[in-house]
Amino acid sequence: MMQSLLPAIYPLLKSSYHLDFTQIGLITLTYQLTASLLQPVIGYYTDRRPQPYSLPVGMGFTLFGLVALSMASHFAALLSAAALMGMGSAVFHPESSRVARMASGGQHGLAQSLFQVGGNTGSAAGPLLAAFIVLPRGQGSVALFSLVALLGIVVLSRVSTWYQATRQTQAARTGGAKELVSPYSRGKIIGSVAILGALIFSKYFYLASLVSYYTFYLISRFQLSVQTAQIYLFIFLGAVAAGTIIGGPVGDRFGRKYVIWVSILGVLPFTLALPHANLFWTAVLSVIIGLILASAFSAILVYAQELIPGRVGMISGLFFGFAFGMGGLGAAALGRLADATSITFVYQVCAYLPAIGILTAFLPNLERRHA
């Protein structure tokens, strides 16, 4: 919720600082790259040396980022605030994914979906809170959300205590069990990870067009007010949250490869129709796209964790980081494209991205191998 405040107040920042779409994209890029470059490194390190109390530390970075954002007086300060929030995300996600898997009771897809739906629900609430709290009161009111970060630090301190105790109990039970090894060759693993990366690229480049520029698209094409456009963004992000909770348990039951098939390639007809729809059907299509597309990430992440067992932190950091990086690059590249052409043309180009989902055919069937 706190991290979604940044893109939610883009219209306010654009008018206050006289930013163009390229600069809006650079803010997103700064946040996403800070998160994406650090996450795999932190995950790799914590696989070998788990850091239970890194969870409240990550929330602390987010707190400082919020305060900096509320006090920023020029574009460079906005970039610094975005970088701090990205660092908070980088520290938080690898270990929190490990906690989710540890608490799953074997239902790894469901646990990952529950974990991510918390983030997606917060992301959906961010634009609504920005519309009714930040926009009427101005940029300084962002500091109010630092109180939520303080509450998060308290909660995560308790989670970290449970995590440390549970890890010690599991270590005592296993007595230093041998490290799990993937049944697939190195070449097969590298190829599969590359395909999963391409699918992440497809998903998050397209999501960047909606998360960063959907309000501008609605304002430009349908002449909506900023607050009304934020409500439409909230509806879309709510659909993303709902889709996230569906993907994990469906993958547990029917297989993660099938979920990946449907959630990437299956969204193609709807993305192709979106740029040509009226306001009502734009809202309907955005909900369908959010529901289907959001179910992909938990399935992709748990699939990768099962493909390379024993590397939960590294895989979580790599895929969360790559997802955020693609979101950041997408926001910057699409902002540049919007400045050069139009915001409508951006959606016409992005509509073809889900076609990359055809690569799913080349992924191994993990469930069949495990059976």
> What span, in angstroms and rounded, lies between the C-alpha atoms of 27 and 332?
8
Between the alpha carbon of residue 257 and those of residues 34, 35, 101, the distances in Å are: 30, 27, 19
Are the C-beta atoms of residues 37 and 71 closer than 8 Å to each other? no
Give 329-346 pLDDT, tens digit per residue: 787 788 888 889 988 899
Does 179 map to a domain? no
Of 48-62, 149-163, 273-287, the one with minimum mean pLDDT is 48-62
Token look-up 């500091």 returns: 143
Task: Check which CATH number belongs to the domain holding 166 and give it.
Answer: 1.20.1250.20
> What span, in angstroms and rounded, lies between the C-alpha atoms of 86 and 324?
9
Does 271 map to a domain? yes
CA atoms within 13 A on the CB side of 227: 7
Residue 299: pLDDT above 70?
Answer: yes
Question: 310 in helix, strand or coil?
Answer: coil
Does 224 map to a domain? yes
Token look-up 């470059």 returns: 37
Q: DSSP H helical segments within the chain, as ranges?
A: 5-8, 10-17, 21-48, 54-71, 75-102, 108-129, 135-137, 146-174, 186-222, 226-254, 256-265, 268-273, 279-294, 296-307, 312-340, 343-350, 366-370
Q: How many domains does the chain have?
A: 1
**What pLDDT shows up at residue 160?**
92
Are the C-beta atoms of residues 222 and 98 closer than 8 Å to each other? no
Does 58 map to a domain? yes
pTM tops 0.85, yes or no = no
Does 177 map to a domain? no
**What pLDDT shows up at residue 371?**
45
> What span, in angstroms and rounded, lies between the C-alpha atoms of 270 and 265?
10
Does 130 map to a domain? yes
Does 176 map to a domain? no
Does 163 map to a domain? yes
What is the Rg, in whole angstroms, of the alpha carbon atoms belonging to the chain?
Answer: 20
Q: Which amino acid is at 17?
A: Y
Burial of 340 (0-12, 13-18, 19+ CB in 10 A): exposed
**What integer best gives the mean pLDDT of the chain?**
85
Residue by residue, DSSP assigns 27-64 as HHHHHHHHHHHHHHHHHHHHHHS--TTHHHHHHHHHHH
Give 213-271 pLDDT, tens digit per residue: 898 899 989 999 988 998 898 888 888 878 888 877 887 787 788 888 888 999 999 99
Please give the angle made by the CA atoms of 207, 40 and 31, to the nearest 5 degrees: 45
Of 72-86, 246-260, 317-331, the one with minimum mean pLDDT is 317-331
Any residues with CB less than 8 A from the CB of 47 and at least 6 apart, and which?
A: 310, 311, 312, 313, 314
Are the C-beta atoms of residues 23 and 75 closer than 8 Å to each other? yes
Higher local confidence (pLDDT), 71 or 177: 71
Q: Which domain, by its residues, includes 273?
A: 5-171+184-370
